[in-house]
Amino acid sequence: MKQVNKQAVYRDSILQALKKLAPAVQVHNPVMFIVYIGAIFTTILFIANIAGITDEPSWYVFVIALILWFTVLFANFAEAIAEGRGRAQAESLKKSRKQVIAHKLSSIAEKEAYTDVSSSELQVGDICYVKTGEIIPMDGEVIEGIASVDESAITGESAPVIRESGGDRSAVTGGTTVVSDWIVLRVTAASGASFLDKMIAMVEGAARKKTPNEIALQILLITLTIIFLMVCATLLPISRYVRDMVGQGSAVSLSNVVALLVCLAPTTIGALLSSIGIAGMSRLNQANVLAMSGRAIEAAGDVDVLLLDKTGTITLGNRQAVAFQPVQGVQEQELAEAAQLSSLADETAEGRSIVVLAKKKFNIREHSMQQLHARFIEFSARTRMSGIDMDGGMEIRKGAADAIRRYVEAGGNTYPKECEEAVQSIAEQGGTPLVVAKNHRVLGVIYLKDIVKDGIQENFEALRKSGIKTIMITGDNPMTAAAIAAEAGVDDFVAEATPETKLELIREYQRKGHLVAMTGDGTNDAPALAQADVAVAMNSGTQAAKEAGNMVDLDSSPTKLIEVVRIGKQLLMTRGALTTFSIANDIAKYFAIIPAMFMLAIPEMGVLNIMGLASPTSAILSALIFNAIIIPCLIPLAMKGVKYRPMSSSKMLVRNLMIYGVGGIITPFVGIKIIDLIISPLLEMIGFIGF
């Protein structure tokens, strides 16, 4: 997705923070709603003080009210800045959502006999014809033709992509542009329910619902707030009783009770809770992954089993020739020349790699088909081999071992045992053997190797440290699969996998209590994607796959699943870290305020003033000021997230407690003391030390 203007986001966030002061908005965050009520109440007390009904000095009540209002505004700003990124991204996407004229067909056979209609009038099942330079009117599936499509408006990637009928690259998105050729598509989404509409809704935050973890944490915070509310309510009669019994001092004022409640309530995490979730979704959007729900992101953080396709995920996806292995009596160069000739018209990655290897090893120059006066034999699923027929009766064939065996024996020759052994050896190493024969005589074997991606081993090791099991899924035979799995460093593998195999494997792990993540792009992947807890569908894939998944990768990169899991874990770590920090904060603020409130009436409570604060007044104001400014200080951490480090849950818990637990206790002690040192001289200047 496109980058957003940060300055514009900040300006918009300030405005939104003010708009969020509406009671209907504030009530959705119960913890901050208490602060909101406290701000209104102290404001009323200030007005009452002006009118002569004294609670505390007017300036003191005014300062408390002002700090509380800033606390609410900072909380609103934290949420607004997280939402602002989404709104900015949504605005750029809305520019791509245009009403265009669609060429509606009544029949595929008559492409030029179309009827022009508005894209908003299209219904699911309608057939449309799109030519070069035209905008695709609605989400659909290509049923005829092939075209280059510019999807930069959605993915941010400027390079066009190929979309064609059949296969796993048939899905097209409304709002993208055909830059060459033509396609006929069948509409798969009605107006207002397109992929682009869903993207805008999710990115904008309009479709975001609180996740189960968020709800559970919010219930805990509300419970703690209610407990502190009851405690603070009892302080009024207790302080009056102490005053009457001791005969000195004064009862706790209403302003100070409100201040105490705000300081003791878990306001830090209460203010940042929503923004953490929104920021997590925003980080996923920045990775060009669209989550259909916040629940999916959280599930990604809890995933402990990853199902990964071999091709394109673990390996590069294109096998490459790495060696020529001639049989006895054949020179390696002769084998290389025959392999090169049979691959001249082979435009596959495997075919081009054979040509490159022959040139690299023996400097065999590439010939043109016209010069050779040859006829190229294309590969077919029936014959399972390809080759070339040249003038003079020369035939060269390359293909699967059993296909070449039949070809050789049909010519009256013997298939050498040496070739069988070479084929077996290559298969055991995880490679793909291609046997080459000339005039029905075996020359040798080409070793095609699946190249494991650089750095994939480190990725799997990091996942293993985090307690995540990786399983490679492949259609290869068990021998080849085992070799690739060992080289890549995955924990387990499933060979000769079918869609039914994937589905059953996911169910098996889920029955054992595991959370499973997988990726897919084809219609045959849809059942498994629907069953998985985290299912990342490729944007280039079929409509069925995208509808079955709960995330869509706009880059269509199978390895993105690993990044999705990291972002999910980072979200959970950030929420846990800031919750720990917030609750630890309350412990320190307790020692700042409680002794201060009763010090004048009960001098013995001065022993609890371990922070050595100058006066009860400065103690309360310092704690309130710290409580307000800590929220904007933590906004960058909430937005960026806690740095993810691969480690076990137990180590992560210990690290979390040491940094954010102990740090959460120490920081308020230091912060409140510094603020006290700044404001206590000011209070002395105006002659206000006690209550």
Alpha-helix runs per DSSP H in 303-380: 332-342, 349-362, 369-372
Taken in order 278, 279, 282, 283, is the CA torsion positive or negative?
A: negative
The amino acid present at 230, given as its one-letter code, is M
Taken in order 483, 488, 491, 496, is the CA torsion positive or negative?
A: negative
Query: Hey, what are 296's tokens?
Result: 């999916």
Taken in order 677, 678, 682, 683, is the CA torsion positive or negative?
A: negative
Query: Hey, what are 46's tokens?
Result: 């200030």
Contact 542, 521 (CB under 8 A): yes
Q: What is the DSSP letter of 348?
A: S
Place of tokens 């986001």: 9
Place of tokens 């009960």: 602
- Please name the helix (run of DSSP H) or strand (run of DSSP E) that holds residue 553, with its range, or none: strand 551-553
Contact 175, 96 (CB under 8 A): yes
Which residue of the set 150, 197, 309, 521 is catalytic?
A: 309
Is there a catalytic annotation at residue 309? yes
Sequence-separated (6 or more) residues with CB below 8 Å from residue 358: 324, 336, 337, 339, 340, 364
CA pair distance 46, 134, nearest whole angstrom: 65
Contact 448, 432 (CB under 8 A): yes
Contact 142, 163 (CB under 8 A): yes
Query: Hey, what are 15's tokens?
Result: 């405005």
- Burial label for 7, CB within 10 Å (0-12, 13-18, 19+), is exposed
Nearest-10 Cα torsion for 145, 148, 154, 155:
120
Q: What is the DSSP letter of 603?
A: G
Q: What is the DSSP letter of 119?
A: G
Instruction: Give the distance, in angstroms, between the CA of residue 508 and the centroid of all CA atoms in the same chain.
Output: 25
Strand partners, 101: 118
Sequence-separated (6 or more) residues with CB below 8 Å from residue 611: 591, 592, 619, 669, 672, 673, 676
CA pair distance 87, 639, nearest whole angstrom: 15
3-state SS assignment for residue 613:
coil
Sequence-separated (6 or more) residues with CB below 8 Å from residue 6: none
Contact 147, 182 (CB under 8 A): yes
Query: Hey, what are 470's tokens?
Result: 């990786």
Count of Cβ atoms closer than 10 Å to residue 359 Cβ = 14
CA pair distance 124, 101, nearest whole angstrom: 16
- Please name the helix (run of DSSP H) or strand (run of DSSP E) that holds residue 366, with its range, or none: none
Instruction: Give the distance, in angstroms, between the CA of residue 577 and the centroid of all CA atoms in the same chain.
Output: 19
- Burial label for 458, CB within 10 Å (0-12, 13-18, 19+), is exposed
What is the number of residues in the chain? 691
Catalytic positions are 309
